[in-house]
Amino acid sequence: MNASLRLRLALLVICSVALTVALVLYLTWQRVGETMIGMEEKNFATLLLVEEERLNTATLNHLAGKVRAVLMRKAQLRDASARIQALLRSLDRHGEGGPGYSGLQPLLSVMDAASIGLVDDIDSIRMEILDTEKLLAGWTSLLGLSSSLRDVKQRPVQRLLRQLPRDGDFAVLDLPRLVATNEGGMVSSGTYRPVLAYFLPLDGNRPSREILVAMIPLDDLEKMAVRAQAQLLEDTREKFREMALYPGGLVALLDSDGRMLVSGGDGLLPDGLDAARAEARQTGMAKVILPSQRGDMLCLLGSIRAFGWYVALTAPLDEIQQPSYSLLGSLLAVSLPIMLLVALAALFMLIRTLRPLKLLTRKTRQLAGVDFAAPDALDRLEPLLSQGLPLERRDELGQLARAYAHLGGALAANIRNLMEATASKERMEGELSAAREIQMGILPPPDGAPEMCGFRASAFLDPAKEVGGDMYDFFVTGDGRRALVLGDVSGKGVPAALFMSMTVTLVRYALGSGLDPAAAMSQVNAMLEAHNPGNMFVTLFLALYDPQSGELAYANGGHCPPYIIDAASDAPPRMLDKLSGPLVGVMPDMEYTLFTDTLREQETCLIFTDGVTEAMNSDKELYGEARLRDFMAAHRGAPPRELLTLIFSELVRFRGEEPQSDDITMLAFCRTRNTRVAQPAPTARTSS
């Protein structure tokens, strides 16, 4: 048992340490893994910020260059238009016909011819003079201008011409690309090109009819943007290639549709990033873990809103968490020897701790063989309980040892006290048994009344304790009548039994001396009251019955009224409900009244104590007089002895498991029809 307990405690300590270490290792591994993933997210956020800043800077530089180029072209168009306008005004002053539109006709023809001969170069400026009336009438100019044309700001050309300020205005248009023919003309190539157009009115009218239009192509700016974007992507590719990534990791720049523009690393971009791209567009950055051929991949996506592009960073989770696995292995290498040392130390401590328990077990077996009834039991216990025990220790084992040492002496004293109490109880039970036999010897046998012409009687007594206070008696008086006595002394036990014995003796003396029941009750009351220091009392029913005439002379001193049942008719039981006086033995100088009644043939009289009607079941319900009357009516033909047996069986049935609370005493006698004297049946003093 000790070895089993030692093993259990050792296993408990080892398991506790192992669980604690395992929990610490697991939490450490989990925290380190989460920290590594968090660091990757922070690094990616930094990368995203740097890339977005670099791309925005490159874009701003490109836009600044583009703005400078546009401003320079605007200056060129203004300068060229101003020179043409000055030339036209000079020609107008020296021409014939005076100023006005008719004087400009020859110049218009010359300018039209000049515009046709312009070369289709990128830096060349193409010019023509528009007649707004022809243009609004549906005419298309040599350079492709028409009234339905709109600029990049969606402004109609006709509205632009009508609202043209005096210093002119600029517009960006998409016009057909013109090429020269062998005949010296210009035709459309079927493609369009962006041009910067400058409209300058030639007369002072508003709207002006003659407008000078100067154009310069913007193709080079578009090509410049393409070259700038290509250079930007190349720079990004070089930077991504120089980045230190996890094996199997990838960093890539994606367009708005998720297509890869540039990338770095030896990994592959996993599928299923559409939801992550949508989240990145809303929140700026998204994180998702997707399966791949190399295991689960951590995918981080960031949105570069200015371009509609995404920066994607992928890395295998195993590679990211590799430091946590390495740390876990190192901790295991350190923790296992520590756990082993702790287990050995715990086992050593348990062995030392449980050693006194083994000694206590051996002494307990020896204590079981000690005869505590022997006079020298205490002397034998002292060395047995104190030798070898760690009584000087101040811990729990020391307290247990001292308690065990005290146990033996207290156990011996308690056993001796118990033996004395048992012996005293046995003596008391013997005395009570003797008292019961003496009490029952005072009373006649329950079936001791002889059967004779006109009379048959039987009694029943079942005390609630060993001895009780109920009594009954029947005997023959000097004049041949039958004396019938039933009483119930207050209280229970030995005092009630002694008071009952004295009452029986006084009643026998009084009735035997020739007194009637009332006078006898008065005499008994006077003698009991004079010698009653305990203030006890008795309910008493005394009767003298004449078997020949059936006359019953009786006195009732506070007792339960008897019932009389006729076996020859169906009449209900009648009650002798007249009281001669109060309880007997309480009040001095009491005179009790005598009453008489007559029993007809086959009538039975039942005298009983309150233990019959006050029998109680488990529902705290009393048996009551009504049930007793109904039961007597149902068994009206039963002889006295059988009737008493049936009534007691009915009380036992009604009471159930509830214990008997009071003495039960009954006396029944009947007036018979025949003159034959029956032999008495075997008797028993009590029936239960």
Classify residue 358: in a domain, yes or no.
no
Question: What are the DSSP E strand ranges found in 415-489?
Answer: 456-462, 470-476, 482-489
Torsion (CA) 512, 517, 519, 524 in degrees, nearest 10: 70
pLDDT value, residue 153:
87
Q: Please check the confidence at residue 431 and state whether its pLDDT lies above 70.
A: no
CATH number at residue 487: 3.60.40.10
- The top-scoring range by mean pLDDT among 177-191, 496-510, 639-653 is 639-653
Same-domain pairing of 462 and 604: yes
Classify residue 225: in a domain, yes or no.
no
pLDDT tens for 298-320 read 888 888 887 788 888 888 888 77
Is the peptide bond preceding residue 547 cis, with omega within 30 degrees of 0? no
List the single range of 102-106, 179-183, 337-341, 666-670 with lowest mean pLDDT.
102-106
The set of residues, in sequence order, having a beta carbon less than 8 Å from that of 408 and lying 6+ positions away, is 367, 370, 381, 384, 385
DSSP secondary-structure letter at 590? -
pLDDT tier for residue 672 given thresholds of 50, 70 and 90: confident
Same-domain pairing of 435 and 476: no
By three-state DSSP, how is residue 39 classified? helix
pLDDT value, residue 410:
73
644: Cα within 13 Å, side-chain hemisphere: 27
Nearest of 617, 610, 614, 668 to residue 642 by alpha carbon = 668
Can you read off the two tokens belonging to residue 572? 């209900």
Mean pLDDT of 218-230: 81
The answer to whether the predicted template modeling score (pTM) of the entire model surpasses 0.85 is no
pLDDT value, residue 575:
95
Classify residue 314: in a domain, yes or no.
no
pLDDT tier for residue 503 given thresholds of 50, 70 and 90: very high
Residue 222: count of CB within 10 angstroms of its CB: 13
DSSP secondary-structure letter at 102? G
Task: List, edge to edge, every strand of the sheet that includes 470-476.
Answer: 470-476, 482-489, 538-545, 551-557, 595-598
Can you read off the two tokens belonging to residue 595? 């009453």
Classify residue 334: in a domain, yes or no.
no
Residue 432's domain spans which residues? Answer: 372-442
Residue 193: count of CB within 10 angstroms of its CB: 17
Q: Helical H runs in 95-194?
A: 105-116, 132-136, 157-162
Give me the helix-helix angle, 396-442 and 322-368, nearest 10°.
40
By three-state DSSP, how is residue 193 classified? strand
pLDDT tens for 344-365 read 887 777 777 777 777 777 777 7
pLDDT tier for residue 205 given thresholds of 50, 70 and 90: low
Same-domain pairing of 405 and 525: no
For residues 235 and 264, what is the distance between their CA atoms, to the nearest angstrom?
12
pLDDT value, residue 423:
74
Classify residue 293: in a domain, yes or no.
no
**Beta partners for residue 306, in sequence order:** none
- The top-scoring range by mean pLDDT among 271-275, 368-372, 408-412, 650-654 is 650-654
List the single range of 90-99, 145-154, 669-678 with lowest mean pLDDT.
90-99
Q: Specify the higher pLDDT residue, 471 or 370.
A: 471
Same-domain pairing of 475 and 436: no
pLDDT tens for 36-75 read 778 877 777 787 777 778 788 877 887 888 888 889 988 9
Same-domain pairing of 422 and 535: no
Same-domain pairing of 590 and 663: yes
The set of residues, in sequence order, having a beta carbon less than 8 Å from that of 552 and lying 6+ positions away, is 543, 544, 545, 546, 596, 597, 598, 599, 605
Q: Please check the confidence at residue 507 and state whether its pLDDT lies above 90.
A: yes
pLDDT tier for residue 432 given thresholds of 50, 70 and 90: low
Q: Please check the confidence at residue 291 and state whether its pLDDT lies above 90.
A: no
For residues 339 and 336, what is the distance between their CA atoms, to the nearest angstrom?
5
List the single range of 8-12, 79-83, 261-265 with lowest mean pLDDT.
8-12
Classify residue 181: in a domain, yes or no.
no
Same-domain pairing of 478 and 615: yes
Indicate the average pLDDT of the chain.
Answer: 81
Picking from 417, 442, 467, the residue at the C-terminal end of a domain is: 442
pLDDT tier for residue 378 given thresholds of 50, 70 and 90: low
Same-domain pairing of 420 and 547: no
Q: Which residue has the tokens 């960073």?
A: 313
pLDDT tens for 597-648 read 999 999 999 999 999 999 999 999 999 999 999 999 999 999 999 999 999 9
Give Cα separations from 301 to 250, 251, 501, 522 (angstroms): 12, 10, 112, 120
pLDDT tier for residue 6 given thresholds of 50, 70 and 90: low
- Backbone phi, then psi, for 663, in 5-degree steps? -65, 145
pLDDT value, residue 426:
75
Same-domain pairing of 393 and 540: no
With beta carbons less than 8 A apart as the criterion, state whether 618 and 582 touch: no
Q: Specify the higher pLDDT residue, 138 or 78.
A: 78
- Backbone phi, then psi, for 369, in 5-degree steps? -95, 5
pLDDT value, residue 450:
66
pLDDT tier for residue 590 given thresholds of 50, 70 and 90: very high
Picking from 406, 424, 442, the residue at the C-terminal end of a domain is: 442
Nearest of 501, 512, 440, 444 to residue 473 by alpha carbon = 444
Same-domain pairing of 541 and 496: yes
List the single range of 107-121, 163-177, 442-456 with lowest mean pLDDT.
107-121
With beta carbons less than 8 A apart as the criterion, state whether 487 and 539 touch: yes
What Rg value do the Cα atoms of the chain yield, rounded? 67
Same-domain pairing of 449 and 429: no
List the single range of 17-31, 164-178, 510-524, 540-554 with lowest mean pLDDT.
17-31
DSSP 537-576: -EEEEEEEE-TTT-EEEEEEESPPPPEEEETTS-PPPEE-
Picking from 392, 414, 442, the residue at the C-terminal end of a domain is: 442
Same-domain pairing of 383 and 528: no
Mean pLDDT of 406-418: 71
* Strand-pair category, 126-131 with 169-180: unpaired
pLDDT tier for residue 108 given thresholds of 50, 70 and 90: very low
Count up the domains in the chain and report the number: 2
Mean pLDDT of 654-665: 90
pLDDT value, residue 511:
93
Q: Please check the confidence at residue 259 and state whether its pLDDT lies above 60.
A: yes
pLDDT value, residue 482:
93
Amino acid letter, 371: D
Classify residue 453: in a domain, yes or no.
yes
Classify residue 353: in a domain, yes or no.
no
Q: Please check the confidence at residue 681 and state whether its pLDDT lies above 50.
A: no
Nearest of 42, 66, 51 to residue 305 by alpha carbon = 51
